[in-house]
Amino acid sequence: MNFKRPRGTADILPDDQPYWGKVYNTARKVAHQFGYRRIDTPTFEDTNLFERGVGNETDIVQKEMYSFDDHGGDMITLRPEGTASVCRAYIENGMHNLPQPVRLFYAAAMFRYERPQAGRVRQFHQFGVEAIGDPSPEVDAEVIELGWKYIADLGIKDVTLRINSLGDAEGRADYINDLDKYFLGVVDQLPKVDQDRLKRAPLRVLDSKARETQALADAAPKSVDYITGEAKEHWEVLLVLLDNLKQAYPDFSYTVDHRLVRGLDYYNRTVFEFEPADAGSQGTLIAGGRYDPLMGILGGQETPGIGFAGGLERLIMELKKQELPVKASKGPDVVVVTLGDAGSAGSTLAAGLRAKDISTVLAPKRSMKAQMRYANSQNALNVVILGDREVENGVASVKSLGEGGAQSEVTLDAAAIAEHVRSTGNQ
RNA sequence: GUGGGCGUAGUGAAGAGGUUAUCACGCUAGGUUGUGGCCCUGGAGACGAGGGUUCAAUUCCCUCCGCUCACCCCA
């Protein structure tokens, strides 16, 4: 019987960890720079949370959730996204009593039952931020800036930022109505996928991948022409704020894309997406938007919110594609090589070195040559050789594995050897 | 759910209807007595599964399974 990992999951092996360290560390650092504090929510939640929060009609809820009956008879779902959980936690923990807005971030695994392909797997990881409790466009600009800086700090180049406004519920009905009318007028020019889409979700025809549709979509009614009142003012201020970002970030740029829509039901007003220039078909690195209706939908007080989620697998794919350097993982400071009867002395010495905070690995009991090769393969900085000769004389031979390979004898004492290793800079 | 491509050691590749299935990297053992990297020699390790065609199938055909890319959808 051969076990295999479940479809759409990955083993993240040691050689890949430097990439993961980079996306996590950069996320933490940037989030902190913007005053966002970490939140961790459970990996699974009440199924209803996602049905209501994400939207019953969405594909995520319709066919992509990992749901199951737990032993107590409750319906449980592995989270397919992070925002609903964070909002649940906000409500449940009474965070509306904190100074607003509350700035939160998370980095965690998400689960969706989908056919895997490039840039899409069933267990994936997202870095997400949420700013809850402030309706003003300054917060929209801040979240977008955060996404921009995250990508910039990762070193990823040639990313385009697209934004759009979906407006509020009132104007949206009119807009969708007109949009529907428009596409119906040219329905015979639409490919079949988009004819079907038009029936299901007229908005989604806008971001169709079909070339024929794209030309038609460019000429379609634009949602920004339908937004009015506060939503309109919000949008106009946001554009000014974004323009002003260029003062701090000379490279900053964005394009208003009337075809940009988002798949989740809870978005309103601002939506945005970061995408690499040479995007594959599942290339979106970060996507987000404002979700003012969500808190109410989840049964809390009406509370505005905005956030984004970034796909870590996709970010890492881009790091690799652009051949950006990551820190190689370091080898141990010391590999202890033993000969003859010195085996147990080597084990004791290794423990002594670790106790002194010297990272130390015991070479496997083989020939000396094999042990030296092993030390080299581990990228060790030093080997400490313990043979009968050394034990007799109460010393250890400490050899640097660098270019020179300097070797000296040091008193057989963990503290003394630790000191020697430290002082020669080979730590 | 739909469609395309692909399944040969741990990894990446080569291969032919017919003796021991090839190569590289990796792993492992050696190459002077107690010293790594480079080099040399040896060793272990593979035809996804099941049917069919054939004297003979890892090779041809079918089914299944898996991987992969794309659609759908999305981070």
The 10 Å CB-count burial string (b at 16+, else e) for A319-328 is beeeeeebee
**Max Cα-Cα span within chain A:** 95
Judge if the beta carbon of A266 is closer than 7 A to nucleic acid strand B.
Answer: no
Which residue intervals of chain A bear CATH 3.40.50.800?
334-423
User: What's the CA A11/C1' B22 distance, rounded, in angstroms?
Assistant: 31
Helix (H, G, I), strand (E, B) or coil at A153: helix
- Per DSSP (E only), the strands in A119-252 are 123-132, 159-165
User: In this structure, what token pair is assigned to residue A168?
Assistant: 């509020």
Question: A133: closest CA among A168, A181, A90?
Answer: A90
Question: A241: closest CA among A338, A313, A139?
Answer: A139
pLDDT per residue, tens digit, chain A (427 aa), is 578 899 999 999 999 999 999 999 999 999 999 999 999 999 999 999 999 999 988 899 989 999 999 999 999 999 999 999 999 999 999 999 999 999 999 999 999 999 999 999 999 999 999 999 999 999 999 999 999 999 999 999 999 999 999 999 888 889 999 999 999 999 999 999 999 999 888 899 999 999 889 999 999 999 999 999 999 999 999 999 999 999 999 999 999 999 998 877 788 999 999 999 877 788 899 999 999 999 999 999 999 999 999 999 999 999 999 989 898 888 999 999 999 888 889 999 999 999 999 999 999 999 999 999 999 999 999 999 999 889 889 999 999 998 777 899 999 999 999 999 998 876 5
Judge if the beta carbon of A116 is closer than 7 A to nucleic acid strand B.
Answer: yes
The complex scores an ipTM of: 0.91
| Cβ–Cβ < 8 Å for A137, A240 | no
CATH class of A14-168+227-321: alpha beta
User: In this structure, what token pair is assigned to residue A162?
Assistant: 């697209």
User: In this structure, what token pair is assigned to residue A72?
Assistant: 């107590």
Judge if the beta carbon of A407 is closer than 7 A to nucleic acid strand B.
Answer: yes
Question: A146: closest CA among A303, A270, A294, A307?
Answer: A307
| Cβ–Cβ < 8 Å for A421, A333 | yes
Tell me yes or no: is domain A334-423 CATH 3.40.50.2300: no
Question: A62: closest CA among A199, A260, A264, A207?
Answer: A264
A331 phi and psi angles, rounded to 5 deg: -85, 175
- Strand B-proximal residues of A, range 376-395, CB below 7 A, are 376-377, 383, 385, 387-390
**Beta pairing, strands A75-78 & A123-132:** unpaired
**Beta pairing, strands A360-362 & A334-338:** parallel
Question: A51: closest CA among A25, A75, A24, A71?
Answer: A75
Quick one: which residue's CA is nearest to B72's C1'? A193
Judge if the beta carbon of A402 is closer than 7 A to nucleic acid strand B.
Answer: yes
| Cβ–Cβ < 8 Å for A130, A99 | no
The Cα A249–Cα A252 span in angstroms is: 5
Which residue intervals of chain A bear CATH 3.30.930.10?
14-168+227-321
* Straight-line distance from the first to the last Cα atom of chain A, in angstroms, rounded to the nearest whole number: 44
Whether the CA torsion A265, A266, A268, A271 is positive or negative: it is negative
The separation between CA A339 and the C-alpha centre of its own chain, rounded to angstroms, equals 47
Alpha-carbon distances of A145 from A35, A91, A236, A311, rounded to whole Å: 13, 26, 17, 17
